[in-house]
Amino acid sequence: MQEEDTKAVADPPKPDFWRDPRPTNENPNFVRDYFASSRLHFIGSFRARYESMMVAVAANLAVNPRLLLQSSAEKGLLSAKTTRAERVIVHIDMDCFFASIAVKKNPALAGKPIAVCHGGGEISSCSYEARKFGVRAGTFFRDGRKLCPDLLSVPYEFPMYEEASLLIYAIFYSSPTVSVEAVSVDEAYLDITLAIGDDRHASQSGADALVRSLRDKIFASTGCTASAGIGPSKLVARLATKAAKPNGQMRVRQENVIAYLDTLQVKDLPGIGWRTGRRLREKSITTVPQLRALSLAELQSEFGGRQGQVFYNLARALDARPVEPLKPRKSIGAEASWGVRFTKEEEDKARKFIMDMADEVAARVEAAGAYGTKVVFKEYKRKKNASMVGYKHLGHGPCVVFTRSARIQTRSAGRPLKELLRQACIRLHNDLGLHSDELRGVGVQMTDLSFADLNFDHAEATTAGSTRRIDSFFETAVPSSIGNGLSISQRRKAANEAIKDLPSSRNGLGQVSNQSKGGAFDKEEPFEVEFVKKHSERIEASKERMASPIDEQTETHLADIEDEDRIEPAPAQVEFQRAPQVKDAVGKAHESRELDIPKGWDREVFHNLPKDLQDELLKSSSHAIAAGHPPPREAEAVTDDTSAHRIAPPKRRRNPKPKPAAAQAERAKRRKAGQVTMTQFADISNLKKRGHNVLDAEEFREMPLRDCVELLGDLRGKPLNVRTLQTDRRNVETERTGRREGEEDELEDLEIPSPPSLSSDSDGSCSMTEMVLRQGFEEGPVYAEEELSTYAEVLRVWMRTVAGDVKSGHVELIRGRVLELLRRKKLERVCSEMRLVRLFVGEEGMGAWVGHYNRILDDVQEECRVLYKFRLALRKA
């Protein structure tokens, strides 16, 4: 605050913005600074960096990169189908990756509990010494300190992570018979079936030896340890890695797979995360055998067809997914939901920020040599009752997230991508109608991509390709004897034959470019070796750097990898319009009706329509951004592919552009007369407008969920899925027929103010017996002041007495008491008592209580969610 005042006097440009990050309305370079410091951006952009690496290698070989990747894929396919009944799959992952790099850089940290984070923020990775205390990725450093008082905070070293990553991939790619599937910056799957002998016994030890040598090479190269799992499938290999950590390797044989699985919790299965784990727990399913006891039909009715099948297979370790190379991305985007702050008066700044984000995406799309035809725009809106304090500093806090999408015209002549993206985003921002002071995050995504360099078009691929990745997850591996007993070189030959026989469109993979000759296996320089050669300079340099731990020059490296230079927007080109209120969205269309009629609509037909139909049409046409200001070009670009253009011929599939006005009119009319649709039944005013005799929101809220679902199902003439009403937050801001408000844990905190004298400064000695804690629950919403302070004293002294040796009985006493209060809906009391406990837990000598309090708090919040669908505004210790 006074910072602003003194700025004019002396304000040396802060070189350390990262130490004192400013929100969007105070930092014009927010986007650059933020992405340079975000760990999630770093790990999230791995795929983009990896992709460009592959393109570079392919360019060097003068072949279509898709062919390279295909050859690799075919190796995976072959190994699955030929040599032996059992594939040999390896999953390999660096141990506490970021933390290990920190130790590498500063060996004095070895053996110590360390956590990688910005000063006091969220922990990204921590050493195994720290994990012994319960510290995890995602823990706040402050909380980590409570668990582990000696925990040290170490800063990020993104360039070093990138270098180590390159080194391990160089090792993975150094064997031509091993196929590689990149997973993340520190992790990959390998199919080593072809790399080891056919004899089963020999191959088992061969697998172990090969994996050990890979891990040795990794350590020699990076100075960091990796762990690995070996199994008959990706799933099993991955689970084995976890068990092998740290610095170990583990093989699970086919015959032991189920026994091993039976020792696991459902939450340990990849794909079952926090939410699904909770849903299963609510059905009393916590272990893998319990999950296996559910029938396919049960799982599918609960989770849907595909997901149900996946969970069913997970429980049985059925997993035939091949190890295959990454496919080109289907979407490219950027998002920021931290530090986004504007005042009501800063709408212009907000738009500038949105345009910066659009520019960022444009730059990333262009860097990838891609072009997309669809823009997805996303905004985080602060929840109405969200407390302004108590959340992560400058975090988004409790939010509703909205997304809107639009088509952009296919490379309308000469219009820079940047412009189109900006225009689309601003337009969609207007559609959403958020006020700038409630904006907490912005996301921009470009999808429906095609790649110039790869001569690859996703739409084409989808049409031509028969298999989607998930499909293979459903099959079990098919044993086959083809290729058995062949030498490696013979198998390579077979692999090349197989590739030659493939129609180039097979699997939706692109075509061989003119210069490429023969299958990749024939080349003297196999792709894998080429990878290493191509990057040898960087690899060597990295090796050197990794060899000298204490090293300074890491600062500029990341920029080499991802060029995030941005052109300053020319403000003149941008018209700032007032953001319309939500309700005005249609009204706004009236003013500029002429201009806003989407190209491709029949102007005359349109004007002859009734006014309300016109409105209806315009409303739905916000999906066709092309309708926007400068009238778009006709989509003649579709036809030209031959020359300098980067876009592969889009084949057929007329891109979903505005349909003829007449058809639209038909649809609008039908909808008007027709049945209740989703957006309509979700919005009560809409239901009423449509003449449905419908109750008001209050009545809906009080109706049992079952009845509500049934009623709406009837109105719709089609059964309604319960979960849609329960958890889907679509259009949450309308007056709801459902009960989404306050539904989820991220929704409103219930703020219950503390009673006046909580700090309990009295020091009077009370006889404290556990009987006092067991005393009856008084009536009335709040404690009489006296009562509370008496209770507080008793509680404090009791807690202190047992603090030396807190037994589970002690904990249960507290937990049972607050949970009972909660069940009786004495929320003020719950909050008062929890705050008391928290207060005391913070005192000197009460350390043993900290973890117990936090666990009790978790239980209270969980119970509160189940019972009342909100959270109490209580803090962790």
Ligand X SMILES: Nc1ccn([C@H]2C[C@H](O)[C@@H](COP(=O)(O)OP(=O)(O)OP(=O)(O)O)O2)c(=O)n1
> Which residues have a catalytic role annotated?
187
Residue 375: closest CA among 425, 429, 328, 432: 425
At position 750, the amino acid (one-letter code) is L
Task: Compare residues 53 and 94 and give the one whose CB is closer to Mg ion.
Answer: 94
The residues in 89-108 that bind Mg ion, with binding defined as CB under 5 A, are 93-94, 97
Q: What is the 3-class SS of 797-814, one letter each residue?
A: HHHHHHHHHCCHHHHHHH
Q: How far is the CB of 488 from DNA (least distance, A)?
A: 31
Alpha carbon distance 368, 55 (integer Å): 9
Alpha carbon distance 872, 862 (integer Å): 10
The owner of tokens 């583990």 is 250
Alpha carbon distance 442, 350 (integer Å): 10
448 binds Mg ion (CB under 5 A): no
Q: How far is the CB of 550 from ligand X (least distance, A)?
A: 21
Task: Compare residues 190 and 747 and give the one whose CB is closer to ligand X.
Answer: 190
Both tokens assigned to 842: 């913070």
Identify what 846 binds: Mg ion, ligand X, DNA, none; CB under 5 to 8 Å per kind. none
CA-CA-CA-CA torsion for 737, 739, 740, 746, nearest 10 degrees? 170
Residues 437, 342: contact at Cβ < 8 Å? yes
Q: According to CB under 7 A, which one of 727, 759, 762, 775 is a site residue for DNA? A: 727
Q: According to CB under 7 A, which one of 724, 734, 760, 861 is a site residue for DNA? A: 724
Task: Compare residues 186 and 379 and give the one whose CB is closer to Mg ion.
Answer: 186
Alpha carbon distance 494, 74 (integer Å): 11
The residue whose Cβ lies closest to Mg ion is 187
| One-character DSSP codes across 420-481 | HHHHHHHHHHHHHT--GGGEEEEEEEEEEEEETTTTEEHHHHHHH----HHHHHHSPP----
For residues 64 to 93, the per-residue mask of contacts with Mg ion, x marking binding by CB under 5 A and - elsewhere, is: -----------------------------x
What burial letters (b/e) apply to 776-791, b meaning 16+ CB within 10 Å? eeeeeebbeeeebbbb
Q: Give the β-pairing of 749-750 and 871-872.
A: parallel
Q: How far is the CB of 746 from Mg ion (least distance, A)?
A: 27
Which parts of this chain interact with ligand X (CB under 6 A)?
39, 43, 93-98, 124-125, 137-138, 186-187, 245-246
Q: According to CB under 7 A, which one of 271, 416, 571, 781 is a site residue for DNA? A: 271
Residue 326: closest CA among 506, 183, 509, 472: 183
Alpha carbon distance 400, 380 (integer Å): 6
Q: How far is the CB of 129 from ligand X (least distance, A)?
A: 12
Task: Compare residues 172 and 853 and give the one whose CB is closer to Mg ion.
Answer: 172
438 binds DNA (CB under 7 A): no
- Using the 8-state DSSP alphabet, how is residue 265 labeled? B
Q: Return the range that interacts with DNA (CB under 7 A); candidates 306-314, 630-638, 781-789, 820-828.
A: 306-314
429 binds DNA (CB under 7 A): no
Q: How far is the CB of 6 from ligand X (least distance, A)?
A: 37
Q: According to CB under 7 A, which one of 387, 504, 731, 734 is a site residue for DNA? A: 731
Q: How far is the CB of 41 from ligand X (least distance, A)?
A: 10
Task: Compare residues 163 and 457 and give the one whose CB is closer to ligand X.
Answer: 163
Q: How far is the CB of 547 from DNA (least distance, A)?
A: 25
Q: Give the β-pairing of 187-191 and 89-94.
A: antiparallel
For residues 144 to 183, the per-residue mask of contacts with Mg ion, x marking binding by CB under 5 A and - elsewhere, is: ----------------------------------------
How far CA 383 is from CA of 428, 591, 778, in Å, comes to: 20, 32, 34
Strand 226-231: give its sheet, edge to edge. 179-184, 187-191, 89-94, 226-231, 249-251
Q: How far is the CB of 185 from Mg ion (least distance, A)?
A: 7
At position 720, the amino acid (one-letter code) is L
The residues in 328-367 that bind Mg ion, with binding defined as CB under 5 A, are none
Q: According to CB under 7 A, which one of 403, 467, 490, 769 is a site residue for DNA? A: 403
Both tokens assigned to 168: 């391990």
Identify what 125 binds: Mg ion, DNA, ligand X, none; CB under 5 to 8 Å per kind. ligand X
CA 676 to chain centre: 34
Q: According to CB under 7 A, which one of 55, 477, 558, 676 is a site residue for DNA? A: 676
Task: Compare residues 463 and 769 and give the one whose CB is closer to DNA.
Answer: 463
3-state secondary structure of 75: helix
Task: Compare residues 339 and 508 and give the one whose CB is closer to ligand X.
Answer: 339
* Site residue total, DNA (CB under 7 A): 113
Q: How many other CB atoms sit within 10 Å of the CB of residue 220?
A: 12
For residues 761 to 800, the per-residue mask of contacts with DNA, x marking binding by CB under 7 A and - elsewhere, is: ----------------------------------------
Q: How far is the CB of 101 from ligand X (least distance, A)?
A: 8
Q: According to CB under 7 A, which one of 24, 45, 127, 542 is a site residue for DNA? A: 45
40 binds DNA (CB under 7 A): yes
184 binds DNA (CB under 7 A): yes
The residues in 82-111 that bind DNA, with binding defined as CB under 7 A, are 93
Task: Compare residues 137 and 797 and give the one whose CB is closer to DNA.
Answer: 137
Alpha carbon distance 694, 697 (integer Å): 9
Task: Compare residues 221 and 664 and give the one whose CB is closer to DNA.
Answer: 664
Helix (H) / strand (E) element for 859: namely helix 847-868
3-state secondary structure of 741: coil
Q: According to CB under 7 A, which one of 336, 408, 839, 857 is a site residue for DNA? A: 336
Number of H helices, E strands in the chain: 39, 15
Alpha carbon distance 368, 173 (integer Å): 23
Alpha carbon distance 232, 478 (integer Å): 12
Rounded (to 5) percent helix, strand, coil in the chain: 50, 10, 40
Q: According to CB under 7 A, which one of 107, 111, 120, 518 is a site residue for DNA? A: 120
Region of residue 717 (left: phi > 0; alpha: psi -120 to 50; beta: else):
left
Residues 682, 737: contact at Cβ < 8 Å? yes
Q: According to CB under 5 A, which one of 157, 163, 181, 186 is a site residue for Mg ion? A: 186
Alpha carbon distance 92, 50 (integer Å): 17
Task: Compare residues 105 and 404 and give the one whose CB is closer to Mg ion.
Answer: 105
Q: How far is the CB of 123 from DNA (least distance, A)?
A: 9
Q: According to CB under 7 A, which one of 381, 382, 407, 538 is a site residue for DNA? A: 407
Q: According to CB under 7 A, which one of 111, 149, 155, 273 is a site residue for DNA? A: 273
How far CA 874 is from CA of 93, 475, 839, in Å, comes to: 38, 48, 12
Identify what 245 binds: Mg ion, DNA, ligand X, none; CB under 5 to 8 Å per kind. ligand X
Identify what 479 binds: DNA, ligand X, Mg ion, none; CB under 5 to 8 Å per kind. none
Q: According to CB under 7 A, which one of 113, 229, 325, 397 is a site residue for DNA? A: 397
Task: Compare residues 124 and 409 and give the one whose CB is closer to Mg ion.
Answer: 124
Task: Compare residues 168 and 773 and give the one whose CB is closer to DNA.
Answer: 168
Q: How far is the CB of 202 from DNA (least distance, A)?
A: 31
304 binds DNA (CB under 7 A): yes
Residue 194: closest CA among 177, 180, 217: 177
Q: Return the range that interacts with DNA (CB under 7 A); candidates 58-66, 415-423, 592-600, 673-681.
A: 673-681
Q: How far is the CB of 721 from DNA (least distance, A)?
A: 3
Task: Compare residues 43 and 772 and give the one whose CB is closer to Mg ion.
Answer: 43
Q: Which residues lie near Mg ion (CB under 5 A)?
A: 93-94, 97, 186-187
